[in-house]
Amino acid sequence: MSDANVKLEKVEGAINALSERLKVPPLRVIEVYRSEFKRLAAQSRIETYLEVLAMRNTKSILVANGRVGGRIEPR
């Protein structure tokens, strides 16, 4: 799947919300999201939930990285 198929418009609100909640720059969220989306798309035969799964994985990765480098405040 090419970069063109990573449609950020569909998940722009989720990216911004995750950025604010985790206090991570939006560009970092986008970077991780694109990477996860491409990784999942390469393995996927059905693309229905790719955005949801990629966003979930993005959050997990950013939270794990935040715990290593500093504390992430709960909601």
Residue-wise pLDDT for 16-46, tens only, equals: 999 999 999 999 999 999 999 999 999 988 8
DSSP string, 1-67: --GGG--GGGGHHHHHHHHHHHT--HHHHHHHHHHHHHHHHHH-S--TTHHHHHHHHHHHHHHHHHH
- How far apart CA 33 and CA 18 sit, in angstroms, is 11
- The pLDDT assigned to 65 comes to 87
**Percent above pLDDT 90 for the chain:** 61
pTM of the model as a whole: 0.75
pLDDT tier at 3, thresholds 50, 70, 90: very low
Interior CA angle at 71 toward 56 and 38, to 5°?
A: 25
- The pLDDT assigned to 22 comes to 93
Show the tokens assigned to 15.
Answer: 């990216």
